[in-house]
Structure 1
Amino acid sequence: MPVPEVQVAEVMTELAELENPKVRAVNSRHGDDHGVNLSALRAVAKRLKTQHELARELWETGDTAARLLAILICRPKTFDRDELDVMVRDARTPKVHDWLVNYVVTKNPHSEELRLAWLDDPDPAVASAGWALTAQRVTKRPDGLDLTALLDVIDAEMKGAPDRLQWAMNTCLAQIGISHPEFRARAIDIGERLEVLKDYPTSPGCTSPFAPVWIAEMVSRNSGT
């Protein structure tokens, strides 16, 4: 049964009604400017189902909650390369950026081309998208990756990188150490020397993003010890 067409104005009204000042206050501490509970947002997306043209229109509003919803109801494979490039450059809040890369770009046929183009981009937010895609390849499709060269770049550049780019590079470092035993000692050494995210506050029961701790924890879990 076809999904009834929904107008952008209707959706924006619904998102405004879901706005919660307490949620906005929490999100703002992480750089995200919206106050819609993500479970409620996902419920809206589940009801709307896939509506790619509506997703495009929601994205064009520039509203963070609307863009998150757009990501959930779009067809990732439908976007062309240039369109995704523009979207990543325009995705300035962390949650939109993260969801766009992980929910859309990774499922798009141009993902590898974009990964390579973004890795050395002068915009650190765009470069972080390239590193996030690289971290995924490290774990899922490492064939063809030069892990030694990646570790060389991380060793030379991660310490001084802006926060979002530093986080993505650190994730790549940890995933190399976790997934590739032959590079584990070097990955741990880089992490210990650079001390990136060593003092990052970590909630009880969560794994520290400090690469040596992260690597050790995941290797232990994977080995069942």
Structure 2
Amino acid sequence: MTDPLSPASTAAEILAHLHTLASEEKRQGMQRFGIRIERSLGIPHGPQRDIARKIKRNHERAFELWESGIVEAQFIACSTVDPKRFSIDDARAWAETFDSWDVVDGVTSLFVDTDHWQPLIAEFAADEREFVRRAAFAMIAWASVHRKKEPDATFEAFLPLIEAHAGDPRNFVKKAVNWALREIGKRRMALHGPALATAEKLAASPDKTARWIGKDAVRELTNPKTLERLARRS
């Protein structure tokens, strides 16, 4: 049989190998972090990353892994799919299955590497489903970190979207909105001021959720260590 950890391995062989790594103890432990475990084998991210590195990129096989429905296989699919060939309709189809914050955060790291990441943010933010809306703000956060060449104006333009959805009280939305705001503010000094102004405005809001988002973001964006890191980047 082909080595399941080689570039020549098939999706079926990779899935069989994943099952040999399954851990019921780790699977149950994931629930403490608010992760849904119905589709999980209980394999930590480290071994998943090792597998992705060994099997390398294969666009078609990545879709087979995704369609298995196994969370770990889906994470590996995200790491081995070709972002240049990943269409906006592919992203929409994968988003349709979102049911846990960890899946959202893993997949959106891929989405921001595609050419249609900005239209997807607007589309997903307008979606009322909790995990799809979370995807929009997770994408803003990931893009703030990963898209180094993107102009600051792109990220400043996301601040009104953050403000518009800061009142969504659902746990996995509000945490992603907060994450997005903090990452914009930490991207570069030129963005720190606008992000902090938005955070301060939200911190003074009569809305409980918006106030929590704002106060938490203000705390991080005014932290001396955050300001030190920003100064070094300037």
Normalising TM by the smaller chain, what interval?
0.7 to 0.9
Q: Mind listing any 5+ residue stretches in structure 2 that lack a counterpart?
A: 1-5
> Are 1:166 and 2:174 counterparts?
yes
Q: Which stretch of the first structure deviates more once superposed, 25-34 or 64-73? A: 25-34
Q: 1:110 aligns with which of 104, 110, 116?
A: 116
> Could you say which residue in structure 2 is the equivalent of 1:47?
54
> Could you say which residue in structure 2 is the equivalent of 1:201?
none
Aligned partners of 1:108, 1:118: CA distance in 2, in Å?
15
Pairing 1:174-213 to 2, within 5 Å after superposition: 174-178=182-186, 179=188, 180-183=191-194, 184-191=196-203, 194-196=210-212, 210-213=216-219
Q: 1:11 aligns with which of 10, 14, 32?
A: 14
What is the one-letter code of the residue matched to 2:216?
F
What is the one-letter code of the residue matched to 2:29?
V
Aligned partners of 1:191, 1:21: CA distance in 2, in Å?
42
> Are 1:99 and 2:94 counterparts?
no
> Could you say which residue in structure 1 is the equivalent of 2:69?
62
Aligned partners of 2:83, 2:182: CA distance in 1, in Å?
27
Q: Deviations over 1:3-57 (max 9, x none)?
A: 6532322211110111123321332222142311221111111211111111111
> Are 1:23 and 2:26 counterparts?
yes
RMSD: 2.6
Q: The residue matched to 1:210 in structure 2 has which SS?
A: helix
Q: 1:215 to 1:11 in 2, by over 3 A?
A: same
Aligned partners of 1:117, 1:47: CA distance in 2, in Å?
35
Aligned partners of 1:114, 1:216: CA distance in 2, in Å?
31
Q: 1:91 to 1:148 in 2, by over 3 A?
A: closer
What is the one-letter code of the residue matched to 1:65?
E
The alignment's TM-score, normalised by the length of structure 2, stands at 0.76
Q: Which stretch of the first structure deviates more once superposed, 28-37 or 108-117? A: 28-37
What is the one-letter code of the residue matched to 2:171?
D
**Does the 8 Å CA contact 2:11/2:61 hold for their aligned counterparts?**
yes
Aligned partners of 2:13, 2:143: CA distance in 1, in Å?
39
Q: Deviations over 1:174-224 (max 9, x none)?
A: 2344442432244235246545279xxxxxxxxxx9212211232243336
> Could you say which residue in structure 1 is the equivalent of 2:3?
none
Q: The residue matched to 1:29 in structure 2 has which SS?
A: helix
Aligned partners of 1:116, 1:110: CA distance in 2, in Å?
11
> Could you say which residue in structure 1 is the equivalent of 2:230?
222
> Are 1:149 and 2:160 counterparts?
yes
What is the one-letter code of the residue matched to 2:62?
A
**Aligned residues, how many?**
208
**Does the 8 Å CA contact 1:177/1:188 hold for their aligned counterparts?**
no
Q: 1:185 to 1:110 in 2, by over 3 A?
A: closer
Q: 1:26 to 1:188 in 2, by over 3 A?
A: farther
Q: 1:143 to 1:57 in 2, by over 3 A?
A: same
Q: 1:32 to 1:197 in 2, by over 3 A?
A: farther
Aligned partners of 2:19, 2:45: CA distance in 1, in Å?
14
What is the one-letter code of the residue matched to 1:219?
L
Q: Mind listing any 5+ residue stretches in structure 1 that lack a counterpart?
A: 199-208
**Does the 8 Å CA contact 1:20/1:37 hold for their aligned counterparts?**
no
